[in-house]
Structure 1
Amino acid sequence: MASVPPKLEKRIGLSQAVLSGLGVTIGAGIYVLIGAGAGSAGNAVWLSFVIAAVISGFTALSYARLARFKPVNAPEFHYVKLAFNQRLGFLAGWLILWSMVVSAAVVSLGFAGYLQQFIDFPAAAIAAALVGLSTLIILIGTRQSMALMGILTAVTVFGLVAVIVIGVPHLGSVDLLEAPKGLTGVFGAAALVFFAYLGFETMANLAGEMKDPGRDLPKAMLLVLAVSVVFYVLVALAAVSVLGWEALSSSSAPMTDVFRLGLGSSSAGAITIISMAATGSTAFFLLLSASRAVWEMSCYGVLPLPFCTIGQRRTPWVAIVGVGLFSIIFILIRNIETVALFTNIAVLLAFTGINAAAIRLSKTIGKAANSKPRAWERITPAAGIAACLWLAWNTGTAALLFGGILAAAGLVYYQAFVARAWSSRPDRDESPP
């Protein structure tokens, strides 16, 4: 066990953090899942994005308040542990960690699907190659990684802006409140498109590499969520206005079809490349964030110690390689919609823990800030708990079963490998490193 955890290079400022968050948040979710969302919510899919944003917002406020109090890597693990106990903290970190690893695999498969528009090559091989390339770039160093993220994010945002512009002349052509399955369909779509907002929480894994995490991390989280909401709602309005929910839901490449109808067939190649940038950047940052979470939890003694190793370039190379290998294994999972729901249930359970921690630690945070807890600082996380549990219920039976199995596996691992080692630590009651 590392007595003095190694330090990561501190080079990330507010703008880089925002770009990183946008890179993973504005990505595969909107480019891949908007069609499936429209199949459930109809033309009112934009409303599903609003509902998912509100639910995300409650939790973002909890993350921001906790991050301002104590910025850390692997925040789900540390905050829930600090508020409750080691076991629940580990479970929260476990759920988030696996959600990132599996999501990276699925998003990589989404990238492969777009690339197959140009080359005839097995999707699994393409996805594995993307994970391998992303892993190599992350190994090179954080500064180089962030530069690439900025480029990919700019390309992704350009594609969304183009979709919005294409949709403007078509606004009013469809009933934007048409929901063939009623509110049940709108809520079901919200449980699915919630995946599109995942990303703001992973930014906290970069706390150890930020110049001023206490000041910049909360701002970056809220900025990323605000920008994402605006883009998603506008893109959803544009897409259903151009195609209508029936055509949108039956399309395997919805953004390509929007471009094709709005700009002609010659534009299909351009949006395909943009979609590859979107899915590629999402996979990249998920791998980056997951490796930092593994490194932190390993240094703290709840994952195998070798993952705590820092290389000559001041990057956690063992954690980076390990996450990449596990993602390649999960590439065998091919249904993006199903695994998105699997990811969502894991994240929603962890978010419930974060909101509960924000309530439990409200007095501690107030003392640290020399102020009394205000009413809203308890109300918003309580609303977050209720909203997360409600949305989790709407993910469906299969996702709920997956979440239960994943949580049970985490508790078994904890009891078998972590609890005994932790009980023998002389410093087990100390604060997280």
Structure 2
Amino acid sequence: STGFLFSIPLVTPTFLTKKMKVLGLFLLVLPSVSAFSPLGWCGDLGVRRLTTASLAARVQGASKHFVLHGSPSGWRAAHLQTKQSGVRRGVAGINMGGDPGDMIFSQESECGAGSVQVWERDFEEEAGKVMRTLWFSGSPEVWQSAVVLNKEDSVPDFKRAPTFHSCKGLALAAALPPSVKNILLIGLGGGALAGWLLENHAELERLVACDLDPAVAVAAQRCFLGSYGEDSRLEIHVGDGVEYAKQDDAGKFDLIIVDASESAETGSDDGAAALGVWAPPRVLRTVACYQALREVMNENGVLAVNVLARDPIDMLDYISLVNASFPGRIAFLENRDGSHSWMVTPDNKIVFAACSSAATFLNEEGMADRVLAYQEHVPASKDLELSARVRKEFTTVDNLCDRAQQLRVYRSNHKL
């Protein structure tokens, strides 16, 4: 089959980059994606998204309401990459060079992730430091966590900003409630976020970290947290974080952060085996889950969730679950940086939801003001570069609805 080229007058949606606006965009419309090899690496979804993003004008959807999903059966795991590619996750400014170093810990996962491993290598950016990374053998292409430590005594350096872009975005959540004395963290990983919060929030009275996998909890305490694992403010629980929150003695929380994921085997668009991920996991993708969390939050509490989705429509479906308990009180950051070149799926967001309708961070100006106040209160947060992120990455549900509607229109027009 033969494709053809045409150009569109440059009236671009607001979410296109400045470079696209300057250069313009030529679209290739093909009966078959595979007919044009230079874009073949994108897969069908990549080409759909490229075309959708280039529609001449914003499509105002006829329905901007949420359709609630009682189960994730109609959703797809976010597609990361083919296993044959051999690409390992990189972090902006840090070159792993495909070599994670020496394995210093390994324990079989009880959650189907293979073996939970910790690797250590010299930290090239600073002498006398090492970086330890958490991996699952079931998804060897992706790091799960990273912490920098002193080489001599293995003391973690939690004064340093977290390595991952997503972890920095989740740290922004601590700037949003009036108080952060009580925090629930669902998904401990290597403890990078937990350690940063303990180090930099003197007013923090209680940090409850839950992880389903006992091996992850052991790795965090043995290899990453150091003496922070013995901090009286930290409670580590192995098990379901939502079920923990339902307990009568769990108390109320000012901030709940969900940073958990579930690996998945998924087919890529060319039929090859591919690595996929649910973030958050499917067990946390129900209306009841967020109703339960809302009930254990204080009046001015904030929920933050690291979300991966296959495309804007799937992302909107997930947001609908949160919206059921936090109606109209949602905003998010587009979680994008150089480290995401390993992802085929570009839809990664840090979702923020407010218990109170009086929350001031639900628009860009209000969130920027909260960041400035936070930097005065927690000087170490300046290293998170949150002001720049709010300017570049803040977006709203309305914007996501428009993007989802554009994708629906494109699919309908092209009978996809």
Higher helix proportion (structure 1 or 2): 1
TM-score by length of 1: 0.25
> When the two structures are superposed, what TM-score results if normalisation uses the length of structure 2?
0.26
- Structure scoring higher RCO (CA < 8 A, sep ≥ 6) equals 1
Higher strand share: 2
